[in-house]
Amino acid sequence: MAARKREATKVEKHNGISWLIMNRPEKRNAMSPQLHYEMDETLAELETDPDTKVVVITGAGGNFSAGQDLRLFFRAMEKDPAGRKRSQEAANRWRWERLYNYDKPTIAMVHGYCVGGAFMQLLATDFAIAAEDAVFSLSEVNWGILPGALVSKVVADMVLPRHALYYACLGDPFDGKEAARIGMINYAVPKANLEDEVVKLAEKLMKKSPAVLKATKQAVRQVRTMDFWQSYDYLAAKGQAIKVGDNEDSYNTGLRQFLDEKSYKPTFEPFKLGTLVTHQTKKK
């Protein structure tokens, strides 16, 4: 099947970072069926793209996303049950099923409005940085519905129950500083510094072993719903699995650089990537 022409999204690639941009600035990046289809397909492409090391999810024109496009996603689909089902499946797949367990690290860069349904992709990404003056709002209660799809679930999982109830039931907006305070994002920065801070985080992530980073972020997510005994077994198996197909041979390379070569301090920095071939050549 031919790749869909991007109309509601765009991709920009720079130095290992792929910026996946919701691109409906005239609608504050409100999410249409077309946008959902494109995001779903593009995330699938970037997950196996060798030039993509980190994916940043953001929006064009000064906003993250104003949530679902009420006219196109809801009203226009009322008499098209098949179309509505397809668009709902695509919307849920990319905003949660793909992003939550994505192979590569993901960062949400939030500026302007982040409203309603956009909380799913916000909370599915591994990391989130926002402008201090970004506007977050679970506004569904104000227009007569509850936070649907998985929004209520993921908000309740991410923050303390009092915070989840307060903002879901009141619908009051809050800024980036408050989002950081309640644990919805990692931190907030002045808008002028936002992109630089995202790049800085992405560059730190790209210095880690890709195999270990992938396993670590997936493990932290999965053990949240396990008991202690399940976690013991899962993490032991996950640790062994890292060694299969790890191009860096991270376990032995890290030990060698720390114990034998004394070339790094793991408390403060990762081991150096790309040294395995040189080491094997020297041994010969």
Average pLDDT, the chain: 91
pLDDT of residue 1: 42
Map residue 7 onto helix, strand or coil: coil
Q: pLDDT tens for residues 113-172?
A: 999 999 999 999 999 999 999 999 999 999 888 888 899 999 999 999 999 999 999 999
Contact of 267 with 238, CB cutoff 8 Å: no
Taking residue 2's Cβ as centre, other Cβ atoms within 10 Å add up to 4
| For residues 35-51, average pLDDT | 97
Whether pLDDT at 279 is above 70: no
Residue (of 54, 99, 55, 56) closest to 210 by Cα position: 54
* Rg (alpha carbons) of the chain, rounded to whole number: 21
Question: Side chain identity at 168, as an amino acid letter?
Answer: A
Which structure tokens are listed for 247? 């191009």
Q: pLDDT band at 281, cuts 50/70/90?
A: low
pLDDT of residue 41: 97
pLDDT of residue 85: 79
CA dist 196 and 24 (Å) reads: 23
| For residues 170-181, average pLDDT | 97
H or E segment at 135?
A: strand 135-137
Which structure tokens are listed for 55? 């994916």
Q: Edge to edge, what strands does the sheet with 127-131 contain?
A: 9-14, 17-22, 54-59, 106-110, 127-131, 187-189
